[in-house]
Amino acid sequence: MSEPIRLNRAFFQDPHTIYRELRAEGPIRPATPERGLRVWLVTRYAEAKALLADPRLSKDGDRALELFPEGTGGAHASSLSAHMLNSDPPDHTRLRKLVNRAFTARTVARLRPRIEQITDRLLDDLAAAGTVDLVESFAFPLPITVICELLGVPGSDSDKFREWTKPFVMAASAEELRAAHEAVESYLIELVAAKRKAPGEDLLSALVQVSDEGDRLSPAEIVSMAFLLLVAGHETTVNLIANGVLALLQNPEQLAALRGDPSLLPNAVEEFLRYEGPINIATLRFTTEPIRVGDVEIPAEEFVMISLLSANRDDDRFSEPDRLDITRSAGGHLAFGHGIHYCLGAPLARLEAEIALGRLLSRFPKLELDIDPDALQWRVSTLIRGAHVVPIRVG
């Protein structure tokens, strides 16, 4: 068996080149992310899709914690981790059902006017600035404002929140993780108490009511649920917007095609998800029994990482996968995952991205990248695929 692939800074700076080599060799390879863990990395589309829906792979947080070498459990050791993304059925089914209705395409469509309003206000500020960091001034504030409003987190706290949640989605020391965990947890516990005293029309107030009326949601689960929705609801969408704009600015003929026919927008968003999706590797799973993948038999109780970024560039599934083509049929991409943990927020993410990209392009006909693409610094994270800073000139 080949040497484990090291998931280090160089890997995150250019994962596509390494993934191409790995896919050519086989569907799976041992890998070592930071913190000394040893995992199996899945890179081909067919195997990735099958394993995402394979019930022999578990996401049970408590059992996963036992498999980590002493002290390396990171975010899994946090009491904020009692959420659906760290659960198997029946807990997963129960938790997901409680919030499912709030995130259907139909419910989410009602948010359109408000999302357009937030977008236009942010674009007004961009127009005044000239040259800006797209991430900081547009791609970040839009989704965080939307998810905070939906949950009932006061807008004035959203910046604080971003600082606290950073260590959960980036390489961070155990100490940074612990501090972030404490800050977020005590903030959310207070917020839940405030909603109990004075409920609003928001999702968190509704969850507090469910929790008070029966045994369907424990106090730890409500705080973890709020945490998951807040983190999943902004860190990812930020990078769908930023990676999408970046892809267009690097492919002027695609940008021209989209400007020429804005009805291509929904299809273009699917292609951005496929071409450079916001999640590099899906969250950790482990085998509950031996599983054969290609020539490899993964023993029981070992961690498996499934690369969505790699699966979406597999030429057995998508022709010319390294070419951005906003007219291609990109459906079937794995950017939102697959199986029971398929992204709950996909309709919201799609809606936000369509509004954000559509209005940005129509407002600024001369939009340009203000950095050599080779100089972009990509985040060192197995989870998030996105550049720290994307300087643009709005013209």
Strand partners, 291: 298
Least distance in angstroms from the C-beta of 96 to ligand HEM: 5
Please tell me whether residue 248 binds ligand HEM under the rule CB under 6 A: no
Please tell me whether residue 237 binds ligand HEM under the rule CB under 6 A: yes
**Which one of 14-22, 27-35, 178-186, 234-242 is the stretch in contact with ligand HEM (CB under 6 A)?**
234-242
Reduced to 3 states (helix: H, G, I; strand: E, B; else coil), residue 233 is: coil
Least distance in angstroms from the C-beta of 324 to ligand HEM: 17
Strand ranges inside 315-384, DSSP E: 368-369
Crossing angle of helices 203-213/91-100, nearest 10°?
130
Please tell me whether residue 240 binds ligand HEM under the rule CB under 6 A: yes
Residue least distant from ligand HEM (Cβ): 345
User: Cα separation of 339 and 192, whole Å?
Assistant: 31
Please tell me whether residue 233 binds ligand HEM under the rule CB under 6 A: yes
Please tell me whether residue 91 binds ligand HEM under the rule CB under 6 A: no
User: Within a 10 A sphere around the Cβ of 327, how many other Cβ atoms?
Assistant: 13
Query: Residue 342 corresponds to which amino acid?
Result: Y
Least distance in angstroms from the C-beta of 272 to ligand HEM: 9
**Which one of 28-36, 163-171, 189-197, 339-347 is the stretch in contact with ligand HEM (CB under 6 A)?**
339-347
Please tell me whether residue 343 binds ligand HEM under the rule CB under 6 A: yes
Binding residues among 169-228 for ligand HEM as defined by CB under 6 A: 228
Rounded alpha-carbon distances, angstroms, from residue 95 to 160, 215, 246: 27, 12, 36
Instruction: Tell me if 392 sits within 8 A of 178, measured CB to CB.
Output: no
**Which one of 25-33, 279-287, 310-318, 358-366 is the stretch in contact with ligand HEM (CB under 6 A)?**
279-287
Q: Which stretches within the chain are classed as H helix?
A: 9-13, 15-25, 45-52, 61-67, 91-100, 105-109, 112-129, 134, 141-151, 158-169, 174-197, 203-213, 219-232, 235-250, 252-260, 265-276, 308-311, 346-363
Least distance in angstroms from the C-beta of 334 to ligand HEM: 7
Q: Would you say 82 or 394 has its CB closer to ligand HEM? A: 82
State which of residues 61, 74, 141, 337 lies at the interface with ligand HEM (CB under 6 A). Answer: 337
Least distance in angstroms from the C-beta of 94 to ligand HEM: 11
User: Within a 10 A sphere around the Cβ of 267, how many other Cβ atoms?
Assistant: 17
Please tell me whether residue 94 binds ligand HEM under the rule CB under 6 A: no
State which of residues 78, 81, 224, 236 lies at the interface with ligand HEM (CB under 6 A). Answer: 236
**Burial bucket for residue 110 (CB in 10 Å: 0-12, 13-18, 19+):** exposed
Least distance in angstroms from the C-beta of 336 to ligand HEM: 5
User: Cα separation of 77 and 75, whole Å?
Assistant: 5
Please tell me whether residue 313 binds ligand HEM under the rule CB under 6 A: no
Residues that bind ligand HEM (CB under 6 A): 84-85, 96, 147, 228-229, 232-233, 236-237, 240, 277-279, 282-283, 308, 335-337, 341, 343-345, 348-349
